[in-house]
Amino acid sequence: MTTNGYARPDMIVSTEWVAQNLHDTDKFRLVESNEDVLVYSSGHIPNAVHIDWIADLNDPIRRDYIGKEEFEALMSRSGITNDTTVIFYGDKNNWWAAYALWVFQLFGHKNVRIMDGGRQKWIAEGRELTREVPQFGPTDYKAQPRADRTIRAFRDDVLQHIEQNKPLVDVRSPQEYRGELLHMPGSPQEGALRGGHIRGAVNVPWSKAVNEDGTFKSPEELRQIYEGEQGLNPQDDVIAYCRIGERSSHTWFVLTYLLGYQSVRNYDGSWTEWGNLVGVPIENPSRAEVEA
């Protein structure tokens, strides 16, 4: 599919590869997942199904993901079997594609890939788009119980991480990290009562890992960003977080599959949870103080 110096080069495919294989729907399923859930209807890659990160992956009542039965139903109506190779792509340099891929892995679907460059690169190359929604027959998908204790971190895990002085990576914008904003620049400033970052976390914005065309940076460039500049190493036990876990899933993918880190977890509670908790350690440089 692709050859490069990444730890797991099989985890990404090129736009050219997708263009050559998009009609092989018996083996592969293209999945588009975007921040803007209306983008898919404006034009998507032929034979790509749409997975809405809100309606399809999140529980409608609890702040949590869907359960095993709901995931099996989603796979069935998307025409995905346990043996299907699922290739994700989307807007925003694939951060929502990485988020959907991460959720798929929570349920044990390991045969996944990301299309390098996402929608941005596909469109920039003038490749085919369609508004036709593909129809695939239902499948008898069997999911594993959700693996919440492997690639996912919870509040108590983060507190333990702080006590043990293990690395935390805050992948939000510098303004969010410093406590000047509660959400990305240009977005409604909502979701948390306090600004700042988790005590001891380093700031590596997720977007540093991608080039202008949306593709991932080279292994050498990525190692310089995470290891040369921040002192991480592949043996570290790392927790990444952002605001709701979507941007940090992109960093989780980079560290896990492109750089080969053995223990990376995504704290999907992220700042929306942490910034609303009572008594947790917060650093807020914009206020020149540390909140206990």
Phi, psi of 89 (to 5 degrees): -155, 165
Cα of 181 vs its chain's centroid, Å: 21
Residue among 242, 264, 280, 282 flagged as catalytic? 242
Residue 278: CB atoms within 10 A of its CB come to: 5
In the chain, the amino acid numbered 189 is Q
Phi, psi of 239 (to 5 degrees): -120, 130
Choose among 102, 276, 247: nearest CA to 173.
247
Choose among 22, 69, 70, 17: nearest CA to 49.
22
Active site residue 247: no
Choose among 163, 189, 200, 290: nearest CA to 243.
189
- ∠ at Cα 197 (196, 201), nearest 5°? 155
Q: How far apart are CA 97 and CA 99, in angstroms?
A: 5
Active-site residues: which are they?
A: 242
